[in-house]
């Protein structure tokens, strides 16, 4: 399978902090890829670099064959993006915002497509409401619609389900699964492990900017391991290694009852 996202030693440094630290990963076409990590582990910084919103300090990335640092506008035109802080312009109504997003992306039949999204995500009654007066969940629906309006080959979405009610979450999860089953790719950042386990095909775990593991969700399922147990043990082991500074030798054995075994190369 070809890679739609490829990073090599991608790094972002803020002063003394290595927010993303030499991350090399590959995301295959058609995958629903979950980027998992605790608060502050570097997920949003990764997405910002991959979408050309932020330049890397070192290393490189390729998105659909394009370097987002060199051609950010080309990358942003091709992909769908839901940024972490959803902020549709406050002075536009929901309908005006989708129309504006459609014009920027030069999408035909924008009224018809917007109508479909209003109905699909069940917020037709809010289309004339100013974005500033929308609830957080409705703003998230709007950001979701704008990201998928042009049917992108790749969407990078940062915590897209967090403000949605259970009924809407189920609908969006189904949409994401169908979307990737049709050959498109989703790169999803979340710290809700249950959602990742339920819908993702592949996952990567970030901790303090470092890639601790990448793998397939089915591999864990076949071994009867829950993603949250795997995640907790891996992150706790990393923290223990940090405390026992200098002791780590690259092995990640976690004792008799450990589920991780040894560290897999990223
Ligand atoms: N512009 C910035 N300047 C300085 N530090 C930053 C900046 N952006 C992010 N950071 C720091 O980089 C680290 C990674 O932040 P990031 O937002 O990427 O994490 P995250 O995994 O998305 O977190 P969360 O799950 O809480 O949203 C954090 O320590 C954060 O404070």
pLDDT score for 175: 96
- φ, ψ dihedrals at 40, nearest 5°: 75, 15
pLDDT score for 189: 93
CA of 17 relative to ligand 1 center, distance in Å: 10
State which of 10, 18, 19 you would mutate to test the pocket of ligand 1, scoring each by most atoms of that ligand within 8 A of its C-beta. Answer: 19
pLDDT score for 141: 93
pLDDT score for 245: 65
Q: Which residues contact 248 (CB under 8 A, 6 or more apart)?
A: 241
Which residue's alpha carbon is nearest to atom 18 within ligand 1? 42
pLDDT score for 250: 41
Whether 52 and 75 have beta carbons less than 8 Å apart is answered as: yes
pLDDT by residue for the chain (266 residues), tens only, comes to: 678 999 999 999 999 999 999 999 999 999 999 999 988 999 999 999 999 999 999 999 999 999 999 999 999 999 999 987 767 778 899 999 999 999 988 888 899 999 999 999 999 999 999 999 999 999 999 999 999 999 999 999 988 888 899 999 999 999 999 999 999 999 999 888 999 999 999 999 999 999 999 999 999 999 999 998 999 888 888 887 777 766 444 443 333 344 554 444 43
Global pTM value: 0.88
Which residue's alpha carbon is nearest to atom 28 within ligand 1? 40
For ligand 1, whether the C-beta of 40 sits within 6 Å is yes
- According to DSSP, the residues that pair with 27 across neighbouring strands are 5
Q: Distance between alpha carbon 33 and the CA centroid of its chain, in Å?
A: 7
Q: Which is it for strands 58-63 and 3-14: parallel, antiparallel or unpaired? A: antiparallel
Cα(131)–Cα(139) distance, integer angstroms: 7
pLDDT score for 242: 77
Can you count the helices (H) and strands (E) in the chain?
A: 9, 9
Nearest to 146 by CA among 187, 195, 191, 87: 87
Nearest to 80 by CA among 204, 186, 7: 186
């Amino acid at each position: 399978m070809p890679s739609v996202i490829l990073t090599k030693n991608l790094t972002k440094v803020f002063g003394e902090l290595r927010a993303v630290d030499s991350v090399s990963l590959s995301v295959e076409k058609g995958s629903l890829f979950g980027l998992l990590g605790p608060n502050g582990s570097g997920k949003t910084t990764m997405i910002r670099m991959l979408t050309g919103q932020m330049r890397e300090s070192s290393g490189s990335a390729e998105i659909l064959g394009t370097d987002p640092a060199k051609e950010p506008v080309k990358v942003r035109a091709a992909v769908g993006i839901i940024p972490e802080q959803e902020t549709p312009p406050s002075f536009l109504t929901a309908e005006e915002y989708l129309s504006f997003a459609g014009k920027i992306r030069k999408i035909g039949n924008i009224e018809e497509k917007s109508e479909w999204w209003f109905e699909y995500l069940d917020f037709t009654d809010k289309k004339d409401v100013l974005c500033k007066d929308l609830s957080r969940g409705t703003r998230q629906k709007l950001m979701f619609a704008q990201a998928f309006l042009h049917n992108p080959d790749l969407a990078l979405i940062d915590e897209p389900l967090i403000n949605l009610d259970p009924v809407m979450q189920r609908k969006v999860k189904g949409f994401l699964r169908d979307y990737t089953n049709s050959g498109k790719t989703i790169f999803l950042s979340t710290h809700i492990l249950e959602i990742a386990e339920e819908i993702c095909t592949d996952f990567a775990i970030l901790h303090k900017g470092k890639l601790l593991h990448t793998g397939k969700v089915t591999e864990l399922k076949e071994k009867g391991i829950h993603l949250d147990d795997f995640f907790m043990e891996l992150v706790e082991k990393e923290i223990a290694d940090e405390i026992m500074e200098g002791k780590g030798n690259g092995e990640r054995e976690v004792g008799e009852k450990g589920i991780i075994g040894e560290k897999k190369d990223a």
